[in-house]
């Protein structure tokens, strides 16, 4: 495990690399997570590829977007494009969890020539807003941004207080919460604060509608698989029912665990990723 840093425009993206090999895998974490999301799966594994696990902007140790900028989902696709360009590789495998899975799918739709395979973990399609609600969505986003302007990171008395707060919104055991959150924390004179940009919690100003999501999926012409947890989020299963027929082939695998099944069933998930990469003839 080694640290790395690359530029995405003016932002520095930080992350970890695992393994050595000719094939390159880029791992994309979920919303409010960071690259430590992939440590249980990769840290003690024998890998036949080089994995780059990044912190998205505003997450982990990567730079925040500027004060006048917001976090649009599509900009993460730009970050992945810049990362691949900085690495100087022609094609990569994409492995994404939750929001990262949605980014991986959209990237593969736009830039199939740069992608060998895509593994989606507990995420499929994109989060949508009905077209008739687009004005309501934008209005809510702008008013919430105004209310939350100049919001600063909250200070906590201890790491354990943050871990307990995160436990309220996840099914992860405390040891995995502590592993995941330690990269998101910074100790200060007044206590412990989150490294994540508070603006990440602002309402999204724009989302695709369902017809656009279907159009995106239809453009994906690289091998795709979806790994879902047996106790994963219901919206993932709902989206699978909605969108699976629009994929040009989708391999679906269920493993024990919840939304972070790649942390809970790490060995099984990694075996499935490797097996799928082998099926593409890449490894």
pLDDT per residue over 246-271, tens digit each?
Answer: 999 999 999 999 999 999 999 999 99
Number of residues written out for the chain: 283
**Is residue 136, in this structure, part of any structural domain at all?**
no
Task: Indicate the burial class of 204 (C-beta count within 10 angstroms; 0-12, 13-18, 19 or more).
Answer: middle
Residue 79 forms part of a structural domain: yes
Residue 85 lies in a domain: yes
pLDDT tens profile 127-177 = 999 999 999 999 999 998 888 777 777 788 899 999 999 999 898 999 999
pLDDT band at 9 (very low <50, low <70, confident <90, very high): confident
Asked if pLDDT for residue 282 goes beyond 90, the answer is: no
pLDDT digits (tens, 9 = 90+) for 213-245: 999 999 999 999 999 999 999 999 999 999 999
Q: How much is the pLDDT for 118?
A: 98
Express as a percent the part of the chain with pLDDT over 90: 83
Q: Total domain count for the chain?
A: 1
**Does residue 228 lie in a domain region?**
yes
Q: How far separated are the first and last CA of the chain, in Å rounded?
A: 21
Q: Is the pLDDT of residue 206 over 90?
A: no
On the question of pLDDT at 283 being above 60, the answer is no
Report how far residue 184's alpha carbon sits from residue 264's, in angstroms, rounded to the nearest whole number: 20
Domain contains 50: yes
- In this prediction the pTM is 0.95
Domain that holds residue 85: 2-131+208-279
The per-residue pLDDT for 148 is 79
- Considering the domain boundaries, does residue 155 fall inside one? no
| Residue 141 belongs to a domain | no
pLDDT higher than 80, residue 280:
no
Cross-strand pairs, 191: 188
**Which CATH number fits the domain that encloses residue 122?**
3.40.50.1820
Reported as a single tens digit per residue, the pLDDT across 16-65 is: 999 999 999 999 999 999 999 999 999 999 899 999 999 999 999 999 99
- Angle at which helices 99-110 and 210-218 cross, to 10°: 60
Is the pLDDT at 124 greater than 80, yes or no?
yes
In a domain, 149, yes or no: no
* Helical spans, DSSP H, in 99-197: 99-110, 134-147, 159-167, 174-182
Average pLDDT over residues 171-199: 92
């Amino acid at each position: 495990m080694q640290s790395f840093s690359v530029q995405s425009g003016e932002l520095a993206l930080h992350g970890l690399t695992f393994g050595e090999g000719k094939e390159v895998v880029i791992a994309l974490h979920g919303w409010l997570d960071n690259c430590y999301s992939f440590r249980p799966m990769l840290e003690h594994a024998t890998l036949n590829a080089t994995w780059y696990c990044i912190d998205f902007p505003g997450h982990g140790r990567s730079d925040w977007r500027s004060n006048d900028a917001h976090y649009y989902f599509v900009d993460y696709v730009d970050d992945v494009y810049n990362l691949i360009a900085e690495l100087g590789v022609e094609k990569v495998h994409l492995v994404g969890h939750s929001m990262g899975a949605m980014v991986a799918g959209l990237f593969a739709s736009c830039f199939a020539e740069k992608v060998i395979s895509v593994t989606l973990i507990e995420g499929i399609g994109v989060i949508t807003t009905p077209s008739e609600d687009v004005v309501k969505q934008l209005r809510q986003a702008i008013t919430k941004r105004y209310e939350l302007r100049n919001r600063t990171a909250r200070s906590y008395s201890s790491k354990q207080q943050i871990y307990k707060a995160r436990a309220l919104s996840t099914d992860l055991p405390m040891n995995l919460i502590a592993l995941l959150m330690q990269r998101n924390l910074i100790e200060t004179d007044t206590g412990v604060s989150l490294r994540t940009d508070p603006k990440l919690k602002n309402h999204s100003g724009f989302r695709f509608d369902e017809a656009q999501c279907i159009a995106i999926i239809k453009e994906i012409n690289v091998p795709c698989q979806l790994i879902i947890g047996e106790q994963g989020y219901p919206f993932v299963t709902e989206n699978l029912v909605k969108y699976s027929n629009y994929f040009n082939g989708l391999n679906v695998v269920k493993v024990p665990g919840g939304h972070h099944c790649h942390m809970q069933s790490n060995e099984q998930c990694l075996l499935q990723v490797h097996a799928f990469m082998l099926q593409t003839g890449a490894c």
